[in-house]
């Protein structure tokens, strides 16, 4: 739902909003909703535990691998939980959050917005 709200407010598709507003300014060159053919060889095999609620349960079969992947196409439903990334890109994003929404002189999130995001809204 958040992705759709971003689309309505920004007037852009969710992936284009993220590319122009987050990934490009932070130089996150390897984050997207899919992995293009020329980068597929960089993927590792992803194993899903037999019991997804118990991450220590035995992994019986690969969920995704270079030879059997679903990451090579843009999914029909885009959400923040569907992004593919590298450790380097993830660390870049994390540094921006730690630095109160800015990195390398670029402000992406206001400190007040981050404070609101970090607030417990339950109760």
Angle at 51 between CA 46 and CA 55, to 5 degrees: 60
Query: What is the C-alpha separation between 32 and 96, in angstroms, rounded?
Result: 18
Query: What is the C-alpha separation between 9 and 31, in angstroms, rounded?
Result: 23
pLDDT at 33: 92
Provide the residue ranges of all domains of the chain, joining segments of one domain with +: 1-34+77-123, 41-73
pTM of the entire predicted model = 0.78
Where is 107: in which H helix or E strand? strand 106-107
pLDDT at 87: 93
Residues 89 and 29: beta-carbon distance below 8 Å: yes
Query: What is the C-alpha separation between 56 and 58, in angstroms, rounded?
Result: 6
Share of the chain above pLDDT 70, in %: 99
Q: Give pLDDT tens digits for 49-102.
A: 888 888 788 887 787 777 777 788 888 888 877 898 999 999 999 999 999 999
């Amino acid at each position: 739902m958040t992705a759709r709200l971003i689309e309505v407010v920004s007037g852009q598709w969710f992936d284009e909003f993220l590319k122009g507003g987050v990934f490009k300014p932070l130089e996150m060159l390897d984050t997207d909703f899919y992995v293009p053919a020329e980068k597929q060889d960089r993927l590792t095999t992803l194993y899903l535990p037999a019991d997804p609620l118990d991450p220590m349960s035995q992994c019986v079969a690969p969920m995704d691998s270079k030879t059997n992947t679903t990451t090579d196409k843009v999914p029909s439903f885009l959400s923040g939980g569907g992004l593919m990334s590298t450790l380097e890109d993830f660390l870049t994003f994390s540094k921006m959050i730690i630095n109160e929404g800015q990195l390398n002189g670029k402000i992406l999130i206001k400190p007040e917005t981050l404070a609101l995001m970090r607030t417990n809204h339950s109760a």
